[in-house]
Amino acid sequence: MRATQEALLAEMRSWGYRYVVTPTVESLAVLERGLGVQQRRRLFKFADGDGSLLALVGERTVPVARLIAGKLRSQPLPIRLCYSGSVLVNEAGRFSRRRESHQLGAELVGAPGAVADAEVIALAVRCLDAAGLRDYQVDVGHQEFFAGLLAGLAVPTQTKVDIQEALAGRDLVRLETILADTSLRTAEHELLLRFPALRGGAEILEAASGLVQNERSARALEDLRRVLSILDGQGLGGSVQIDLGASRDFDYYTGVVFEAYGGDLGRPVVQGGRYDHLLSGFGRPAPATGFVVHMDLVGETLQGSPARRALPSLSAAVAWSAEGLESALRLGSSLRLFGMRAVVDTQPRSLGAARRWSAGLGANHLIHVTGAAEAAWQPRAGRLRKLPPEQVVGRLAGGAR
């Protein structure tokens, strides 16, 4: 998992995103500036020694926004940042099977428009490639598309909230139940149920254009058309599809949103989108967009995959007899200086016992040091040779097998 994380961060750095560290504990008042009621309910909260309320972060976009408006206020916009860390939510199974999960993310702040939206989507695709995922699909939608439809409905505000939550959770059964309790006309009812199933390429946008009659939804379709065109120009059209049912359940999202699904998990491994109003709550208004990678779910997806990264192998197991400890310690240090992973035993062993110990460690090479001038060297699938310790180091450093 650490190797996968480093591969993703390296990809983000190659796009100009700088790594920042944000706290796991924040003032509840700070988090409330960016989170809605439902998100605040999921936080783990506790009291500080002075009685003030604190919370464990349930996502890291809000802490990054505070950082940009605070310590990084003098930095010119746009600014590109990336980060990694644990998040905790008081709702098991939200991001993983545990309440604590690990997220890695990127934020592009100060850049409006389709070009910026396309950049973070393209970066997310490249991160999925860097993680070793091959069977994935990125669904792109727009928060304003359904907002435009809901704005014209003659239903109570709470019903609109319930509809939004059902859409975000892709719970079409619940959506139909909610709509059945409203006074919506049959045409409106069927329209709301139809759009979540509309997925595909540019043809979906054309079909939707003939069905919506409000300006907000029409602008959303035009934004999606522009983003899709830019991604097609980068050769990423095959990885991306339009999903007019895509909707995020964080209140701060305002525009293009996207999710990536990998394997058969049924849950997105990447989620992101535009949030143009969040930084206003921290005193530095700026458009922004970004995404997070749920590393726990990436790990689950990679389990059993041919692309799964192998654990780093142990280059050498260095054993020693009673007279060989000092030489063995020097030999281990020399191997590490050449970038090899070497373990030096903590007790003397016979050659036979050393072989069993080395096999248990899975070392590529066994070196058994019997004195200052002699060592027995045996590759995992090779014959035993006796050489001075410095020659063993030279052979291994030269790539000998």
Sign of CA dihedral 346, 350, 353, 354: positive
Alpha-carbon distance 90 to 108, whole Å?
A: 28
Residue 92 CA: distances (Å) to CA of 195, 211, 218, 296: 30, 39, 37, 13
Q: What is the pTM of this model?
A: 0.82
pLDDT at 306: 62
pLDDT at 176: 82
Alpha-carbon distance 19 to 312, whole Å?
A: 25
Alpha-carbon distance 71 to 381, whole Å?
A: 56
Q: How many CA atoms lie within 13 A of 180 on its CB side?
A: 6
Give the 3-state secondary structure of residue 54. Answer: strand
Strands 199-200 and 136-142: unpaired
Strands 375-379 and 365-369: antiparallel
Alpha-carbon distance 371 to 382, whole Å?
A: 22
Mean pLDDT of 240-268: 81
Element (H, E) at 170: none
CB-count exposure of residue 230 (10 Å: 0-12, 13-18, 19+): middle
Residue 160 CA: distances (Å) to CA of 34, 196, 309: 20, 16, 45
Average pLDDT in the chain: 88
pLDDT band at 71 (very low <50, low <70, confident <90, very high): very high
Dihedral of the alpha carbons of 342, 345, 350, 355, in degrees to the nearest 10 = -40
Q: Which residue has the tokens 């605040």?
A: 40
**96: pLDDT strictly greater than 60:** no
Q: What does the block give as tokens for 393?
A: 């180091």
Residue whose C-alpha is closest to residue 268's, from 87, 106, 138:
138
Dihedral of the alpha carbons of 286, 291, 296, 298, in degrees to the nearest 10 = -160
> What CATH number does the domain located at 316-397 have?
3.40.50.800
Supply φ then ψ for residue 244, to 5 degrees: -75, -5
Rg of the chain over CA atoms, in angstroms? 28
pLDDT at 92: 62
> What CATH number does the domain located at 2-302 have?
3.30.930.10
Hey, where are the domains in the chain? 2-302, 316-397
H helices present in 234-312, as ranges: 295-302
SS3 content of the chain, % helix, strand, coil (to 5): 40, 20, 35
Q: What does the block give as tokens for 282?
A: 């921290």
Mean pLDDT of 259-279: 88
169-187: b (≥16 Cβ within 10 Å) or e: eeeeeebeebbeebebeee
Residue 276 contacts residue 325 (beta carbons within 8 Å): no
pLDDT band at 246 (very low <50, low <70, confident <90, very high): confident
**248: pLDDT strictly greater than 70:** no
Mean pLDDT of 169-193: 73
- Non-local (6+) Cβ contacts of 187 within 8 A are none
**379: pLDDT strictly greater than 90:** yes
Alpha-carbon distance 374 to 372, whole Å?
A: 6
Mean pLDDT of 140-159: 82
**188: pLDDT strictly greater than 70:** no
pLDDT at 356: 95
**349: pLDDT strictly greater than 60:** yes
Give the 3-state secondary structure of residue 241. Answer: strand
